Amino acid sequence: MEHTQSKEELIKENSALKNELNDLKLIIEAVTGHSDGIESELLEKIHAGEKLFQVMSKTIPVPFFISLKDSGKILFSNKHAYQIFGYSAEVFLTKEMLDLYSDPKEFQTFITVLSQYGQVDNFEATLKKSDNSLLIVYLFSQPIVFKEQACLLTVIYDLTERIKAEEEKSALENQLRQTQKMEAIGTMAGGISHDLNNILAIIFGNIELSMMILPEDNEVQKLLTCALSAAKRAKEMVKQILDFCRQKEHERIPVKIKQVVSEAVGMIKELMPSTIQIKLEIEPQLSTIQGDPTQIHQILMNLCSNSAYAMRDTGGVIEIILKEVHKNLATTRIANPKPVSYVVLTVKDTGCGIEKTIMDRIFDPFFTTKPVGKGTGLGLSVVYGIIKSFGGTITVESELGKGAAFHCYFPLSSKTSDSADPTDIQKKVNGGKEKILLVDDEEDVLLIFKSMIESLGYEVITHSNSLQALQMVQKSKNDVDLVVTDNMMPNMMGTTLAEKILAIRPNMPIILCTGLDIQINKDHLSSIGIKGFINKPYSLQQLAFLIRKLLDERNR
């Protein structure tokens, strides 16, 4: 009986165990099926992720690489990354992050930032290319897991183009500032020069008249000669300011610069101390430039004078080189991009050089490093003004203690040179008895000119108002033989007055004079019918010569 019960219980237990086993099998099946599904989904995701990664690394035009977080060994790089460093893919994958830095300390800073913030953004670094040239970049790094290893994904943002663009922008801004500054100074200096010339005209006139009145052996003559000499120096300084302002009309003619420079260098050699050697190197075939020989002389004189000053204690060599170049000067300082062919005159010395800090100011008028009384600070500004007026440009290279080189670029002339050298020949002064109308709005100037012209024997009628002067000519008709008029006058400009007088008397000889010849165009004056032109301040001799010349021409 007991045995039968045990058997039933065993059968029951066996059945329960079978059910349990079945349940377990089903659960295992469900779990296995579930796991297989999840695995295949994960694999699909991994493959999709890998594919996406491959496509992205090939497509994104941004250099990036993956390196081991601990050792920095590079495990992966897209082509933009290894190409930017100038490596092949194979070689780049043998490198470590540290190998890419030009300064190991910078890499340590990168690691410090990474450990502090967990990632790195906008880290400016100077990296090293395969040819050891430098690459300035921003780095962006994030920790990632790559091939089951702790890694860093680093994206490189190349700053080279940006830095270049910023430098170009800065150079253009400097160029613009320089031009604006020079224009402002030019306008101001031009205005001052105009007034100074009027004042100098009075001084010159009075001195010359006094010298004429006094006997030649009078003691005061010496004092007046001294005053005249000082006035001439002042006149020269005003001339230099006007040259800088480009407001002085200089005749632009085709110039064989080779001859002009050779001639000027010959003269400069005579003036230089024996401790300074001058070497001249001229390219045999040089094109003609459009300019003014006198002003080229001045450029050379000013530059050589500065060089000589820079070598005053040590002596040295001044090299003067003249050659033709084809160059785009668009990005250089004080640039004038046209034309692209230039004759370049280089004045190079072995002197003390120019400090970087003053390089921006050396062309400014009145800027000088010389002690008080040793320099006016106009030399380089005049050179600058002349070259700009030729349509050229000037650049400078210098390092402290290693000399300086000034390169003057002159645009080529389309015309050929006839080697003309127009020089006014001073002739013996003759006066006359004719009647001269003198018009100037400045009473003092009027007074002194009247005295000067009267001292030559002429009869002089004066008017400080151009409208009244015109009325007088209209009324008196044939009474006046010649008109001397200022140009810059209120009510009516000298050129307009001349036009109106010539409308009444077409053969009237008219001399136009001014202290600021900014807008005077000699062709224009001739077309109006103005036959004479003179700049203030002028000497009695110059004025007398011109008056007599025009009166004689009329009488022929």
Partner 1 sequence: MQVQGDKYTIVYHSETATVRCDGMLDLRGKDGYTEISELFTKVLDQIPLPKKIILDIRDLEFLNSSGITTLGGFIIRLRNKGGIQLLIQCANKHSWQLRSMKGLQKLMSEGLELNFE
Contact residues for partner 1, defined by CB under 8 A: 23, 26-27, 29-31, 33-35, 37-38, 41
Smallest gap from residue 86 Cβ to partner 1 (A): 47
Which among 300, 382, 414, 392 is positioned nearest to 343, based on CA atoms?
392
Q: Which residues of 139-154 are buried (b: 16+ CB within 10 A; e: fewer)?
A: bbbeeeebeeeebbbb
Between 47 and 402, CB nearer to partner 1: 47
Closer of 25 and 51 to partner 1 (Cβ): 25
Within 8 A by CB and 6+ apart from 44, the residues are none
In the DSSP assignment, the letter for residue 361 is G
- CA distances in angstroms from 494 to 169, 191, 439, listed in the order given: 46, 18, 8
**Residue number with CB closer to partner 1 (29 or 167):** 29
Instruction: Kindly tell me which of 27 and 144 has the beta carbon lying closer to partner 1.
Output: 27
- Least Cβ distance, residue 18 to partner 1 (angstroms): 14
State how far the Cα of 520 lies from the Cα of 249, in Å rounded to an integer: 7
The count of C-alpha atoms lying within 13 angstroms of the C-alpha of 134, restricted to the half-sphere facing its C-beta, is 9
Q: What is the largest CA-CA distance in the chain?
A: 177
Backbone conformation region of residue 434, classed left if phi is above 0, alpha if psi is from -120 to 50, else beta: beta
Q: Give the nearest distance from C-beta 39 to partner 1 in angstroms.
A: 10
AA letter at 347: V
In the sheet with 393-398, reading across from the earlier edge strand, the strands are 276-282, 316-326, 341-349, 404-411, 393-398
Which lies closer to partner 1 via its Cβ, residue 16 or residue 420? 16
Q: Closest distance between partner 1 and the C-beta of residue 132, in Å?
A: 51
User: Angle at CA 31, nearest 5°, toward 26 and 34?
Assistant: 125
Q: Do 117 and 143 meet the contact criterion of CB atoms below 8 Å apart?
A: no
| CB of 26 or CB of 325, closer to partner 1 | 26
Cβ of 371: how many Cβ atoms within 10 Å? 7
Quote the distance between the C-alpha of residue 301 and its chain's center. 22
Compute the least distance from the CB of residue 35 to partner 1, in Å. Answer: 5
Nearer of residues 38 and 172 to partner 1, judged by Cβ? 38
Cβ-based nearer residue to partner 1, 40 or 476: 40
Shortest Å, Cβ 73 to partner 1: 32
> Is residue 541 within 8 Å of residue 429, measured between CB atoms?
yes
Looking at the Cβ atoms of 45 and 524, the one nearer to partner 1 is: 45
For 261, 283, 344, 417, the CA distances from 258, given in Å and listed in that order, are: 5, 9, 11, 11
Minimum Å distance from CB 44 to partner 1?
Answer: 10
Nearest to residue 487, comparing CAs of 457, 517, 463, 448? 517
The Cα–Cα gap between 393 and 335 comes to 6
Shortest gap between Cβ of 41 and partner 1 (angstroms)?
7
Nearest approach, Cβ of residue 47 and partner 1 (Å): 16
* Closest distance of CB 23 from partner 1, Å: 5
Judged by CB, which is closer to partner 1: 28, or 163? Answer: 28
Please tell me the distance from the alpha carbon of residue 136 to that of residue 134, in angstroms, as a whole number. Answer: 6
